Amino acid sequence: MSENTVPKQFLNRELGQLEFNRRVLAQAEDERIPLLERLKYLCIGSSNLDEFFEIRVAGLMEQIKLGGISTSADGMSAKQTLKLVREQAHRLIEHQYRLFNEDITPELAEQGIKFLRRTHWNDAQQAWLRDFFFREVMPVLTPIGLDPAHPFPRVLNKSLNFAVELQGRDAFGRNSTRAIVQAPRVLPRTILLPSEISGCEYGFVFLSSILHAHVGELFSGMEVLGCFQFRVTRNSNLFVDEEEVKNLRLSLQGELPQRHFGDAVRLEIADNCSPQIEALLLKEFNLTADDLYRVHGPVNLVRLMEIPNLVARDDLKFPSFAPGIPSMLQKKGADMFKAMRKGDILLHHPYQSFKPVINFIQQAASDPDVVAIKQTVYRTGADSALMEALIAAAKRGKEVTVVVELLARFDEEANINWANRLEEVGAHVVYGVVGHKTHAKMLMVVRRELGLLRRYVHLGTGNYHPRTAKLYTDFGLFTCNEEMCADANEVFSQLTSLGRARKLNHLWQSPFSLHTEMLRAINNETQLARSGKRAHIIAKMNALLEPGIIAALYEASAAGVRIDLIVRGVCALRPGVPGLSENIRVRSVIGRFLEHTRIFYFRNDLQHNVYLASADWMDRNFFRRIEVCFPILDRKLKKRVIDEGLKAYLQDNCQAWEMDGEGQYRQKNPRRATKRCAQSELLEQLASAPAKNPN
C-alpha cells in the first residue's frame, strides 16, 4: 500500500453514516423548520437507521460470523467497527426518543395534535376504542400461546409484535405463561379519533396502546401480568448467485419472500419489558445484550410519517410550490422534439417540473414517426406514467427496449412487476449485465425524419421516478447532439448485446472509463497547480469513499489545488489536515429536499469543464455498476449548473454543515452575515410559484 493510501488517511464508512443520521436528526430539533416537518425528519432518521441495520450492520455481523479478519480502508476490522457502531447507535436512538417525548410531542400538543396515552383515556375515549378493538382489530389477530405444540412464531422483519406474560389455566387446562401477538400489517399503527371524542382537533392513539389495553380479551379466564411491544430488524441483503441462475427474475422472485426472515440484527423492546421476556427474545433471535435497544415510546417511529398527511395544518408544513417549466416547453402540447432540435434543455428538479420528461416519452409513444424507445429503469415506483407510456408504445408496435435493474434494493418487487407487464405487450426486457447493477439514467428515442433516423436522448442524475423527482434534487439533460446520442446508443448496445466496449465520444462510463477519466481530470488540475496556474475542483455527490480518488485529491491538495467537496452523506476523506489536505473543504447540505445531484467541475485552465453523473465516488459505482457521466457542452447550461448546483451550495450558511478532519460536523451559522439558503433561493429562482424561505 502506497503512502497516499495508508489507513490513517481514511474515515470509517459506517461511523460516517451515523454522522449523517445525526445531521438528519438535527433537522427535527431545528425550531426554524415547521413542526410537522420536524416530525417527518424524526421519521426519516428512524427509517435511515432501519436500513443501516438491515444492510450495513448486517454486513458487519456476517463478516464476523464467517471469521473475517480483514480491515477496511480506515484500518478497522468488522469487529472493531461493530463495537463502535453499537455504542453510537444506542446514543443516537436514545436521543431520538428523548426528542420525540420531550420536544416534538409537547409542541404538537400545544397545536391541538395529541397522542392520547392509554393511562389518560377518559370514559368516552375508552368506550370508542373498545368498540374499535372488537370491530377492527380483534378479528384479524392470532395470538400464539407458547408451548411444545405452539413454537415461537416466525416474526417478520420490522413488524410490530407483543410478548405477553400470563398466569392461570386455559380452556384445555394448559398452564402456559407466555404468548406472542403479532399485529398484522393491514392495521394502521396510528388511529385518528373523532374530535368530539378526543377533545382536541387531532387526537391520535397508537395501535400498540389499543392492543395493550385490551390484550386480556385474547386470553379469556387468564390474568395478564405484562404486555410488551417488540420489533426485530433482520438482514435484508439478498443473495442471488448470478453465475448459477438461468433466469434472474425467476430466481429473485423466489428469494424476495425470504428477505422478511433473514438473520436478526437488532431487537427493539419497550423500556418496561420484564427481564424474563427480554431473555426469551434475545435467545429466540440469537442476539446479545449489545443488540438490544430499549425504547421509550412506539418501537417504530417510521409509522408516524403518515401523521402530517392526516393533519390539515398548512401553517405547520413547508409552503407548497409549483415547479417551474422552461419557457420553450410551457405551451400546452409543446413539441419536445422541435424544442430539442433548437438546443439542449436542462431541468433542475424539484425546482423545475419532471413533467417534460413524462411528456417526452408520452409524445414518443404516440408519435407515428417514432420507431424505437430505449430506457434504463432503476427505481420508478409501483405507479409510473413513464412505464405506462412504454407499455402503450409497445402496444402500438414500436420497438421498446427496457433495461430493468431487478436488484435495485427494496424496489425489486416493483421492478419485477413492470418487467412482467412489459414482456406481456412484446417489449424487449433485459436485466443488464451479470455482476453489474445498471444504475445509469438514460432514455433514448429514435425517430424517422425526412427519410433518416434521428436520435433524441435524456440523461439524468436521478431515477425515472415522478414521486422522488418532487423530493430529490437532480439534473436532467435533453439533447439530440449526434455524438452524445451515439454514445448513449453504444451503452444501450452493451447492455442488451455482446461484444467489447468501444471508445465513447463524450460519455465516461463505469466500469470502463469513469474511474480513469476522473483520475485524469483530477491529476490534470494537479499538474496545472504545479506549473503555477490556478486550479480548482468542485464536486457534489452523495458519498465519497473510493480510496484511489481520495488519494488523488490528497495529492492535488498538496500541489495547491483548491478543492471544494459537497458530500451529502458519508465521506471517508479527511479535510483540512495539515500536511495532508489543507486545501480541501468538505460540507454537507441537509434541507427540505434530499440532495441527490452528482456534479463534477474542473477549472482546467479556464475551460471550466462540467460533468453530471449517475455515480457517486464509491467503489461500487466505479467498478461494479453500469454508470454514465456526461458533460454539459452548452455554455449557458454549464453556467447554470455551476451557479445552481455548486455555487449556491458553497454559499449556503443556513443548511450547510462543515466537516473537520475527525469526521465531525458543525452547522454553519450566518450570525450577522446575510442568510443564504441554497434550496430556498433556488425555489425563488426556478419555481413558477415559489415558497417562502422557511428560515
CB 363 within 8 A of CB 354: no
Q: Which three cell numbers stand for residue 633?
A: 457542452
Neighbouring CB atoms inside 10 A of 87's CB total: 11
Buried b (16+ CB within 10 A) or exposed e, 540-579: bbbbbbbbbbbbbbbebbbbbbbbbbbbbbbbbbbbbbee
CB 522 within 8 A of CB 535: no
Residues near 334 by Cβ (< 8 Å), separated by ≥ 6?
Answer: 328, 359
Query: What's the rounded Cα separation, in Å, for the pair 433 and 501?
Result: 13
Residues near 336 by Cβ (< 8 Å), separated by ≥ 6?
Answer: 329, 356, 359, 360, 363, 456, 478
Amino acid at 623: F
Whether 439 is catalytic: yes
Q: What is the DSSP code (8-state) at residue 455?
A: E
Query: What's the rounded Cα separation, in Å, for the pair 480 and 484?
Result: 7
Mark out the alpha helices in 560-641 (DSSP H runs): 619-623, 635-640
Query: What's the rounded Cα separation, in Å, for the pair 247 and 339?
Result: 41
Catalytic residue among 439, 458, 515, 596: 439
Phi, psi angles (nearest 5°) of residue 563: -130, 120
CB 659 within 8 A of CB 587: yes
Residues near 285 by Cβ (< 8 Å), separated by ≥ 6?
Answer: 155, 232, 264, 267
Sign of the torsion angle spanned by Cα atoms 620, 626, 632, 637: negative
Query: What's the rounded Cα separation, in Å, for the pair 36 and 533?
Result: 50
CB 439 within 8 A of CB 614: yes
CB 390 within 8 A of CB 374: no
Residues near 312 by Cβ (< 8 Å), separated by ≥ 6?
Answer: none
Q: What is the DSSP code (8-state) at residue 572?
A: -
CB 36 within 8 A of CB 316: yes
Q: Which three cell numbers stand for residue 67?
A: 471469521
End-to-end CA distance of the chain: 47
CB 577 within 8 A of CB 662: no
| Burial classification of residue 650, based on how many CB atoms lie within 10 Å of its CB (0-12 exposed, 13-18 middle, 19 or more buried) | middle
What 3-state class would DSSP assign to 510?
strand
Which whole-number Å values give the CA distances from 632 to 355, 458, 459, 616, in the listed order?
Answer: 21, 13, 11, 18
Residues near 539 by Cβ (< 8 Å), separated by ≥ 6?
Answer: 563, 564, 565, 566, 599, 600, 601, 617
Amino acid at 469: A
Phi, psi angles (nearest 5°) of residue 686: -110, -30
Which whole-number Å values give the CA distances from 208 to 132, 199, 281, in the listed order?
Answer: 13, 21, 18
Phi, psi angles (nearest 5°) of residue 382: -75, -20
CB 665 within 8 A of CB 657: yes
Give the start-end residues of each E strand in 28-92.
Answer: none
Could you give the residue numbers annotated as active site?
439
